Structure 1
Amino acid sequence: MADTAATATPDSVAQNEDGYRRRDFINIAAVSAAGVGGAAVLLPLISQMAPSKDVLAESTTEIDVSAIEPGQAIKAVFRKQPLFVRRLTPQEIAAADAVDAGSLRDPQTLAERTKEGHLDMLVTMGVCTHLGCVPLGAAEGEVRGEFGGYFCPCHGSHYDTAARIRKGPAPSNLLVPDYEFTSDTTILVG
C-alpha cells in the first residue's frame, strides 16, 4: 500500500472514476460561460444593424399599370426616389429601335431595357444620371426634349423614348431598377 501511494501522481489522484479531472470541468464551464456572454453581447449589436420596418416596407413597390394608355406615363415613388413608368406607343418603339445602339454614349437597345413580352412598358428611375435632378417628360404637357423621351432642365440632358442619354452632360441612361411583372397589369419593383 505504501508503494501505491508513493507511485501515485497528483494527476491520477485528481481524476474521478470516469477519467475526468476537476480542472477539465472548470475549463469547460469557463469556455461555455464566455460563449454565452459573447453571444449575449453580439446578438444586440448584429440585430441593430438590420433594416427597420419602415425601410423594409419601402424595399419594394407594387404598381398597377392597367390604366396607363399608350403614350402616357405615371410617376411613382420607389425608395424615396421618383420612378417613371411609361407605356410606349408603336411609333415610340419604332423610334427607339431605329437608333443604332452602338452609336450611343451608353449603348443599350430598348429590348435590353424592358422585359420580354412587355416591350411597350418602360420602367426607369426618375433621376438624371448627371447630378440627380428629376427630368421632365413623365407628366402631361411637360417638355420631352429633342428625342421625345425625357429632358433634364438642370443641365440640359436629353433622353430618347427608351430613356437613353442622347445629348447633354449625363454620363449614362436613366437607371432601370429591378422589377418583374406579377401579372399583366401589375409590376413589382425592387
Structure 2
Amino acid sequence: MADTAAAAQAGSGDTRRDFLYLAAGAMGAVGAGAVVWPLIASMNPSAEVLALASTEVDLGPVVEGQRITVTWRGNPVFIDHRTADQISEAEAVALDDLPDAETDEARVQKTEWLVVIGVCTHLGCVPLGQKTGQNRGEFGGWFCPCHGSHYDTSGRIRKGPAPLNLPVPPYEFTTDTTIVIG
C-alpha cells in the first residue's frame, strides 16, 4: 500500500509542476501582450493625421475663371474652374510638345474643373498663378519663379527644369458641386 501512495504522490507532483509551467507561461504571454499592445498602438496615425486624410470642398461659390487653394495632407491643392478657352487650349496641345506627355482628358474628371497638387515637381516650391495678377507663365497655367518652370492650363510642364506635371490627387465628385480629395 505504501508503494501505491508513493506512486500517487509522484504522479500528482508532475501534474502540479506542469500546471505551474502552463500558468507561468500564460502570465508571461499576457504580460508581454500588455507591454507590446501600447507600443503598436502608438504607431497608428493620430487623430490629426486621420482628419487630414480627406478634404471636402464645395465648388458652388467658385465662378468660372476663378482659382482656389485648399490644403490636403499639408499640401496646397489648386482647384481651377476653367473657362471654355482654357479647356480648348489645353485639349489642343500636341503630346509631342510635352516633356511629360499626358492628355488633358486624363487629368480631369469634369473638363471645367482642374484639381492638382500645387507643388512644383522640380524642387517642391509652390508655383505662382493662383491669385489674380500673379505671373501665370508663358502658357497661362502656373509659373515657378525659383527656376523658371512653366505649367499650362492643365498643370502640365511645358518649359523649365521640372521633370513632371503637377500631380493630380485622388478625388471624386460626390455631388455636381462637391468634391472629396483623398
Q: TM-score, normalised by structure 2?
A: 0.90
Moved over 3 A (4+): 8-13
Match of 1:135 among 127, 133, 136: 127
- Whether 1:151 and 2:143 are equivalent positions in the alignment is yes
- Whether 1:14 and 2:37 are equivalent positions in the alignment is no
* Structure 2 stretches lacking a partner, 5+ long: none
Q: Which residue of 2 aligns with 1:93?
A: 87
Q: 1:162 deviation in Å?
A: 0.4
Q: 1:106 to 1:11 in 2, by over 3 A?
A: farther
Q: Which residue of 2 aligns with 1:123?
A: 115
* Superposed CA offset, 1:11-58 (max 9, x none): 994159xxx822321222122111111110011111111222222222
* Superposed CA offset, 1:66-120 (max 9, x none): 12222211111222221100011122111111122344221211121112xx121
* Structure 1 stretches lacking a partner, 5+ long: none
What secondary structure does 1:83 align onto? strand
Tell me, yes or no, if the aligned pair for 2:97 and 2:158 is still in contact at 8 Å. Answer: no
What secondary structure does 1:182 align onto? strand
Q: TM-score, normalised by structure 1?
A: 0.86
What secondary structure does 2:32 align onto? helix
Q: 1:139 to 1:29 in 2, by over 3 A?
A: same
- Equivalent pairs counted in the alignment come to 182
Match of 1:176 among 168, 175, 180: 168
AA at the equivalent of 2:148:
G
Structure 1 CA distance, aligned partners of 2:129 and 2:146?
14
Q: Which residue of 2 aligns with 1:84?
A: 78
Pair member with larger Rg: 1
* Superposed CA offset, 1:133-156 (max 9, x none): 111111112111111111111111
